[in-house]
């Protein structure tokens, strides 16, 4: 005798199309949220990189009487003529200046830059050295330190490193001489 087996039923074409439509609609609704989440996480990694650069800058200034290094960006030089540098000084790259303080190539790579403009591939850094004081380019400012360095400007007003472009949803992470990182 045969046991009773109920008739197996599959999806109809209408049910399958309705399910696919619902999934596509949900994906379209979640896509901008997911993109914002991914960009925010990239921005956090970038801010961490800038904080590490800030620690290296602090160590450098302690070793050099409160002076910042003379750094030139490969494609956007800060010092365009040798006369802008004091006697015996040579402009170097950020990697050359800060590698003795433990920074590696990965520290100079912003994930948003690599995903968009990729200045890192062209210039070996996603960041730009720009010592700005109150909106003006200042070649090598000295800042106040607890150890008694001459204070030409308050460290909280000196911008030193920033993203090469506004790659974080139209914002740019900026490192100040006091070690804080802010997005504008």
The tens digit of pLDDT for each residue in 70-82 reads 888 877 777 777 6
- Looking at the DSSP bridge assignments, the partners of residue 84 are none
Q: What is the DSSP letter of 179?
A: S
| Mean of all residue pLDDT scores within the chain | 82
Tokens of 76: 């956007």
10 Å CB burial of residue 130 (0-12, 13-18, 19+) is: middle
Question: CA-CA distance, 85 to 29, in Å (whole number)?
Answer: 55
- Does position 140 have pLDDT exceeding 70, yes or no? no
- Does position 16 have pLDDT exceeding 60, yes or no? yes
- Does position 136 have pLDDT exceeding 90, yes or no? no
List for the chain the helix, strand, coil content (%; round to 5).
Answer: 45, 15, 40
| Residue 150: partners with Cβ closer than 8 Å, 6 or more residues away | 66, 142, 144
Least confident of 9-13, 90-94, 113-117, 180-184: 9-13
Name the region of 170 (left: φ>0; alpha: ψ -120 to 50; beta: rest).
left
pLDDT digits (tens, 9 = 90+) for 19-51: 999 999 988 888 888 888 888 899 999 999 999
Q: In the prediction, which pLDDT does 135 show?
A: 54
> Helix, strand or coil for residue 133?
strand
């Amino acid at each position: 005798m045969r046991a009773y087996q109920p008739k197996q039923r599959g999806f109809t074409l209408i049910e399958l199309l309705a399910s696919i439509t619902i999934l596509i609609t949900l994906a379209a609704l979640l896509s901008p949220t997911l993109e914002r989440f991914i960009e925010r996480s990239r921005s956090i990694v970038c801010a961490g990189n800038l904080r590490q650069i800030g620690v290296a800058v602090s160590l450098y200034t302690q070793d050099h009487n409160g002076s910042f290094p003379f750094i030139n960006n490969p494609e956007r030089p800060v010092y365009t003529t040798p006369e802008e540098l004091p006697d015996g000084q040579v402009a170097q790259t950020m990697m050359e200046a800060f590698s003795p303080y433990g920074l590696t190539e990965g520290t100079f790579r912003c994930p948003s830059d690599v995903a968009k403009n990729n200045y890192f591939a062209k210039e070996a850094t996603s960041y730009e050295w720009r010592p700005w004081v109150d909106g003006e380019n200042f070649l090598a400012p000295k800042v106040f330190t607890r150890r008694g360095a001459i204070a030409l400007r308050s460290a909280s007003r000196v911008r030193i490193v920033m993203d090469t472009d506004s790659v974080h949803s139209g914002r740019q992470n900026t490192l100040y001489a006091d070690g804080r990182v802010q997005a504008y």
